[in-house]
Amino acid sequence: QVQLVESGGGVVQPGRSLRLSCAASGFTFRSYGMHWVRQAPGKGLEWVTFISYDGTNKHYADSVKGRFTVSRDNSKNTLYLQMNSLRSEDTAVYSCARDPTLWGYDSNYFDYWGQGTLVTVSS
Amino acid sequence: EIVLTQSPGTLSLSPGERATLSCRASQSVSSSYLAWYQRKPGQAPRLLIYDASSRATGIPDRFSGSGSETDFTLTISRLEPEDFAVYYCQQYGSSLTFGGGTKVDIK
């Protein structure tokens, strides 16, 4: 079955960097686009970024553009999120999610999600 | 950016009752690119509906989606105990945005 397991969260000071990972299994990772979605404490869901199946097409939310970078290693079935210049408002649970479109270049919706990893930005 | 407004914020119902959840968009959602998710505490969100009215794999037929352009509805025909959760709508017609959620709790 499809499994997505995030790691790399923790407490980090404002202005610092953190890299999250998402290990995928149970499906052909290299065939699907992937997303990161976050949920701040007590708030709703916010889409963060999308990467196409081959890594050539990437989209970002305005709130993270220029600070966050999404990447993937299809040989390791792993998705990454490099977060730089972190702010207190980036505090959230970050989840990776699969886009359902096979060989998709554009972002759609999410058919499988991970449980998430908590990132806390605080001095 | 398309803003999605979900109502009501909380819906208090009893098992067996019908639940009607609304999702209103600030502008028309192209091609009815709207999805619904269920989220329970400590669990990953579960896809229920995509393309406004298509049920995802394995979703019981008591869940149905309808609507177009700016007004969308998720209906749960008869609430089962496991249906008490938070429900989110999400549009993918223009970038990706979520609604604020509707909590369905036990009356």
Beta carbons of B19 and B11 less than 8 angstroms apart: yes
Q: Which residues contact B26 (CB under 8 A, 6 or more apart)?
A: B2, B3, B4, B5, B70
d(Cα B2, Cα B98) in Å, to the nearest integer?
9
Q: In chain B, how long is the greatest CA-to-CA distance?
A: 37
Residue A104 predicted with pLDDT over 90? no
Measured CB to CB, residues of chain B less than 8 Å from chain A are 1, 33, 35, 37, 42-47, 50, 56, 88, 90, 92, 95-101
Q: Do A109 and B45 touch (CB under 8 A)?
A: no
Q: Do B44 and A114 touch (CB under 8 A)?
A: yes
Selecting from B45, B56, B92 the residue whose C-beta is nearest the C-beta of A108 gives: B92
* Region A73-100 average pLDDT: 97
| Under-70 pLDDT residues of chain B | none
Please report, for residues B7, B50, B74, B102, the alpha-carbon distance to residue B105 in angstroms, rounded to integers and kept in the order given: 14, 23, 16, 10
**pLDDT tens per residue, range A23-59:** 999 999 999 999 999 999 989 999 999 999 999 999 9
d(Cα A72, Cα A86) in Å, to the nearest integer?
21
Q: For residue A107, what pLDDT is reported? A: 82
Q: For residue A116, what pLDDT is reported? A: 96
Of A49, A43, A91, whose CA–CA distance to A66 is shortest?
A: A49
Q: For residue B67, what pLDDT is reported? A: 95
**pLDDT tens per residue, range B27-45:** 999 889 999 999 998 899 9
Q: Do A109 and B44 touch (CB under 8 A)?
A: no
Beta carbons of A48 and A81 less than 8 angstroms apart: yes
d(Cα A88, Cα A122) in Å, to the nearest integer?
6
